[in-house]
Chain A
Amino acid sequence: MRRLRIMVVDDSGLTVKKMAKLLEELGHEVVHVAATGQQAVDAYPGVAPDLVTMDITMPDMDGIEATRRILATAPSALVIIVTSHGQEQMVMDAIEAGAKGYILKPVKKEKLVETLETVTAKYLS
């Protein structure tokens, strides 16, 4: 699998640290970290990452709205939701907003690998 440039969006410093460690262990590069949905939307065009991991519950703008806004200006953006919310409505909202994957916390390495491989094969090959 190719080395991906990834933007991590999460308001929890702890999660960011764990996610960054996991991604780097898998050979990817965390090119930007955003702590709110608005920061992610603002940073996306300049960073132009291969993929975004997006939390849902964040101050100022939630991850579903941020996903929607990123995709409105960059339709080919690849966003994977990484959240603790497993409610059906939340899942459907995220998919409808255009997310390409949905991973629940705590993030298991195998699940992350599987999702990244699936998304990469479908949209980046």
Chain B
Amino acid sequence: MNASMLESALLRTHFDVIPFGIYVVDVTSLELVFVNKHFRERMGEAVSGKCYEVIYASDRPCPHCRIAELLTPEGMPNGETVVYDQYNEHDERWCQLQEKTMGWPDGRVVKYSIAVDISELKETQNRLAEAHAALALRNRELADQNRILQENIHLREHVERIAKHDLKAPLSALIGLPRLLLDNYDLPGEATRMVELIEQAGQNMLEMLNQSLILYKLETDTYALASEPLDLLELVRDVAGRLSGSSLGQMRRVRVSLDGREPQPGERLLFSGDPLLCRPLLQNLLQNALEATPVAGEVRVDVRSGRDAVAIALTNPGEVPEAIRGRMFEKYVTQGKRGGTGLGAYSAALAARAHGGRVRLDASQPGATTVLVTLPTGQDVAV
């Protein structure tokens, strides 16, 4: 045995005792020069031929081949080592490959690869990656749904704005002409009553459209607040009085108090508020309270004074369903009332916010619901 053969035999022996697959490839011909015992056990004894044919069952060199990185420009070993993970389509296994070039005892330049099977580790990583992909897909679907929802809301708002604009023009005739008829024509009693109903219906519709327009401005922060000194007690009494005349109010009672007691004649509670916002705010919340109150029940409205803010606490019997408590002042949230738009409490909250105040729900008392409105007193008000 000459020195070269001895060296070769020694190398083979060393490689054979390493418990990972090792294969040696001629960097020029890509022929397999040697495979160790572990590799033979895995791939079988017949391991000769081109490396890409034997290992990857491919008819052309691998796109991932790194031999070029391991050679000098003259084609000699450059001492570098590359380490990378590679999936083998042939045996469906993952290996971590550590590769280096060297001179083989017979004079050829070869690359040796130590291949560690990491399929089990990859299996876990892959499951994680697939779960990550599923989550990313779900997020994208949610984002798509959200976008569609936003588009629908914008479309709805657009239609609402058009409706408001287009409806206002014919309303002027509906409101103006009945007054002309009543003032200038001697109408029979029944006709007078009907024309008055038409006029009232027109006024109601105009008010609804105006409120709707205000709501839009509040939502888009384009409402110009026009505050003036207002008597909160008078405002509450007035709104309560009006609602008491409705079919809803006739069968329920509204009790108004000031700081928890019966107000004295002539007592006032001044604050700085915009009447165009404050009246509908109270009307919406009181109407909600009345609707939630059983026939013959009572809604309590306590007006509260304070140094920096005034408050109104509206309490009615019954509880708000737990599912909507946290969202009660959001848009389109209703308690399942027939014909409810889900805008009353929402617009009240926006109106309070425009004043620098707030509306909140107090569901701490069993069997009762309190909505508490807080509004800043305002600096230009002499109480």
> Whose C-beta in chain A lies nearest to the C-beta of B87?
A84
Contact assessment for B126 and A86 in the assembled complex, using a CB-CB cutoff below 8 Å: yes
Q: Say whether, besides A86-B125, A95-B137, A105 and B132 are in contact (CB < 8 Å).
A: no
- Kindly state the separation between the CA atoms of A14 and B53 in the bound complex, as whole angstroms: 12
Q: Say whether, besides A12-B89, A105-B92, A111-B130, A91 and B136 are in contact (CB < 8 Å).
A: yes
Q: Residues 82-96 of chain A: 1 if any B CB is under 8 Å from the residue's CB, otherwise 0?
A: 001011100110110
Contact assessment for A105 and B136 in the assembled complex, using a CB-CB cutoff below 8 Å: no
Contact assessment for B89 and A105 in the assembled complex, using a CB-CB cutoff below 8 Å: yes
Q: Which 3 pairs between the two chains have the least Cβ-Cβ distance?
A: A86-B129, A102-B133, A84-B87
Q: B128 within 8 Å of A by Cβ?
A: yes
Chain B residues near A88: list those with CB within 8 A: 129, 132
Would you give the shortest CB distance from B259 to chain A, in whole angstroms?
Answer: 60
For the side of the interface on B, what is the size category? 20 to 34
Contact assessment for A14 and B136 in the assembled complex, using a CB-CB cutoff below 8 Å: no
Contact assessment for B87 and A105 in the assembled complex, using a CB-CB cutoff below 8 Å: yes
Q: A46 within 8 Å of B by Cβ?
A: no
Q: Is the interface of B mostly helix, strand, loop or mixed?
A: helix
Q: Residues 110-147 of chain B: 1 if any A CB is under 8 Å from the residue's CB, otherwise 0?
A: 00000000000010011011101110110010000000
Q: Residues 37-61 of chain B: 1 if any A CB is under 8 Å from the residue's CB, otherwise 0?
A: 0000000000000000000011000
Q: B90 within 8 Å of A by Cβ?
A: yes
Residue of B57, B63, B89, B132 with most partner-chain A CB within 10 A:
B89
> Whose C-beta in chain A lies nearest to the C-beta of B133?
A102
> Whose C-beta in chain A lies nearest to the C-beta of B127?
A104
Chain B residues near A103: list those with CB within 8 A: 130
Chain A residues near B87: list those with CB within 8 A: 84, 105
Contact assessment for B132 and A106 in the assembled complex, using a CB-CB cutoff below 8 Å: no
Q: A27 within 8 Å of B by Cβ?
A: no
Could you name 25 residue pairs across A and B whose Cβ atoms are closer than 8 Å? Answer: A12-B58, A14-B57, A14-B89, A14-B90, A15-B89, A57-B63, A59-B63, A84-B87, A86-B125, A86-B126, A86-B128, A87-B129, A88-B132, A91-B129, A91-B132, A91-B133, A91-B136, A95-B137, A102-B134, A102-B137, A104-B126, A104-B129, A105-B92, A106-B92, A111-B130
**Interface residues, chain B, CB within 8 Å of chain A?**
57-58, 63, 87, 89-90, 92, 94, 122, 125-126, 128-130, 132-134, 136-137, 140
Instruction: Please tell me the number of chain A residues within 8 Å of chain B, measured between CB atoms.
Output: 21
Chain B residues near A12: list those with CB within 8 A: 58, 89
Q: A68 within 8 Å of B by Cβ?
A: no
- Kindly state the separation between the CA atoms of A102 and B94 in the bound complex, as whole angstroms: 18
- Picked from B90, B125, B126, B136, the residue with its CB within 8 Å of the CB of A95 is B136
Q: Residues 7-34 of chain A: 1 if any B CB is under 8 Å from the residue's CB, otherwise 0?
A: 0000010110000000000000000000
Would you give the shortest CB distance from B128 to chain A, in whole angstroms?
Answer: 7
Would you give the shortest CB distance from B119 to chain A, in whole angstroms?
Answer: 9
- Kindly state the separation between the CA atoms of A53 and B170 in the bound complex, as whole angstroms: 60
Would you give the shortest CB distance from B332 to chain A, in whole angstroms?
Answer: 27
Would you give the shortest CB distance from B224 to chain A, in whole angstroms?
Answer: 43
Chain A residues near B128: list those with CB within 8 A: 86
Residue of B58, B90, B94, B134 with most partner-chain A CB within 10 A:
B134
Would you give the shortest CB distance from A22 to chain B, in whole angstroms?
Answer: 12
- Kindly state the separation between the CA atoms of A15 and B137 in the bound complex, as whole angstroms: 25
- Kindly state the separation between the CA atoms of A95 and B126 in the bound complex, as whole angstroms: 16
- Kindly state the separation between the CA atoms of A8 and B348 in the bound complex, as whole angstroms: 59
Would you give the shortest CB distance from B216 to chain A, in whole angstroms?
Answer: 34
- Kindly state the separation between the CA atoms of A91 and B92 in the bound complex, as whole angstroms: 21
Chain B residues near A86: list those with CB within 8 A: 122, 125-126, 128-130
Would you give the shortest CB distance from A59 to chain B, in whole angstroms?
Answer: 7
Q: Say whether, besides A86-B125, A86-B126, A86-B128, A95 and B133 are in contact (CB < 8 Å).
A: yes
Q: Say whether, besides A106-B92, A111-B130, A101 and B137 are in contact (CB < 8 Å).
A: yes
> Whose C-beta in chain B lies nearest to the C-beta of A11?
B63
Chain B residues near A91: list those with CB within 8 A: 129, 132-133, 136
- Kindly state the separation between the CA atoms of A122 and B128 in the bound complex, as whole angstroms: 23
Chain A residues near B122: list those with CB within 8 A: 86
- Kindly state the separation between the CA atoms of A33 and B94 in the bound complex, as whole angstroms: 25
- Kindly state the separation between the CA atoms of A102 and B63 in the bound complex, as whole angstroms: 23
Residue of B57, B87, B90 with most partner-chain A CB within 10 A:
B87
